[in-house]
Amino acid sequence: MTPFQVGVSRDFLGADGRNLWGDIGLHALDEAGVRWSYLDRDTDELIAADLAGLDGVIFAAPAITRRTFDPAIPGPAVFARFGVGYDSVDLAACTAHDTAVTITPDGARRPVSTAALTLLLSVLHHVVVKDRMVRQDRWQEKTAWMGRGLTGRCVGLIGLGNTATDLVGLLRPFQVDVVAYDPYRTPESARECGVRLADLDPLLAQADAVIVMAALTPETRHLINARRLALMRPSAVLVNVARGPIVDETALAAALRSGRLAGAGLDVFETEPPAADNPLLGLDNTILSPHALSWTDEMATGNGDSAVRAVLDVLAGQAPRYVVNRDVLDRPGFQRRLAGLTAPR
């Protein structure tokens, strides 16, 4: 049998040919005797020609679409996504071609929850505008920018998944009241985390800070729109560390500009990078990050180890832990692929 072959998407590489993330644990592939290399093209979409002969692919930015597959050429048995989002992956196409798609919630959990807390505190304390005051000799303006403490406040979470649950633990020292909107969680499971569930509109009306941590789906696109922003307290802040299109940016900018909302912290945008005329860029009551606030060595190690583990699980004939298109696991074609793969001797 031919050796197990793995491709790594080329967007990991910088201009100098080094991995932008540093050590992402690819040495574990070497130790397992797996042949791997970076893909030839740096592309926004992987197509079948990019993947010929590969059994697994570790990828970050490229989209996986129907063009990724050619019925005449067997595709990879696993696409291991370096991260937790998979809105750019056509799961139905992957399942139809007996390909598992995995994500890395174990690797992203603490880095993203820490980023959410960092952004929340930065917005409440006006960190960026106060930094500008010092650099621009505007020291006397500081009394116009009193911050707000977090202790004892109500924090609303949109989504109570893996990362949000970790954030709840980080928030405990602040003695906050945490309420969450998540139609997939039961009240009992939320209570085990120290969280109470609520419908979205009541949550928005009572929270001092709202943090978006849900996945982007057709149901969550523009979930936070003008009507819902109007429900929030004028003193409240909104933080988004999930996906930009969950929030209607035009409506958010209008609410911030008019004073209907006190502030916002965004690590993600509807279009990335945002256009130069995006009104959010000119507002002092926003703190913005280029979808990179959780870009840390901790994230690199965690996501990399998890993605590599998924590939090695497939090599060992086992279903990886974090498969998102779980229907594929029962397909005879995928089962045959697991049984037919082997490590090089």
The strand pairing partners of 73, in sequence order, are 70
**For this structure, is 272 an active site residue?**
yes
Q: How does pLDDT run across 181-221, given as a tens digit for each residue?
A: 999 999 999 999 999 999 999 999 999 999 999 999 999 99
Closest CA to 241 of 110, 128, 152, 61: 110
- What mean pLDDT value characterizes the chain? 95
**For this structure, is 291 an active site residue?**
yes
Strands (E), the chain: 5-8, 35-38, 45-46, 56-59, 63-64, 78-81, 100-102, 154-158, 177-181, 196-197, 209-212, 237-240, 263-266, 286-288
Asked if 338 contacts 77 with a C-beta cutoff of 8 angstroms, the reply is: yes
Per-residue pLDDT at 74: 84
Q: What is the CATH number of domain 5-103+296-340?
A: 3.40.50.720
Catalytic position from the list 272, 321, 326, 336: 272
**In angstroms, rounded to a whole number, what is the distance separating the alpha carbons of residues 62 and 82?**
11
How large a percentage of the chain has pLDDT more than 70? 98
Name the residue ranges covered by the structural domains of the chain.
Answer: 5-103+296-340, 109-288
Q: What is the DSSP letter of 244?
A: G
Per-residue pLDDT at 231: 98
Give the predicted TM-score (pTM) of the model: 0.88
Catalytic position from the list 41, 257, 291, 331: 291
Q: How does pLDDT run across 292-337, given as a tens digit for each residue?
A: 999 999 999 999 999 999 999 999 999 999 999 999 999 999 999 9
Q: How does pLDDT run across 29-76, given as a tens digit for each residue?
A: 999 999 999 999 999 999 999 999 999 999 999 999 999 999 888 889
Q: What is the DSSP letter of 280?
A: G
Residue 342 has pLDDT above 70, yes or no: no
Using CA atoms, how far residue 42 sits from 14, 39, 45, 125, 182, in Å, is 11, 8, 9, 40, 37
Residue 3 has pLDDT above 90, yes or no: no
Catalytic position from the list 243, 249, 309, 337: 243
Place domain 109-288 in its CATH homologous superfamily. NAD(P)-binding Rossmann-like Domain (3.40.50.720)
**In angstroms, rounded to a whole number, what is the distance separating the alpha carbons of residues 284 and 169?**
30
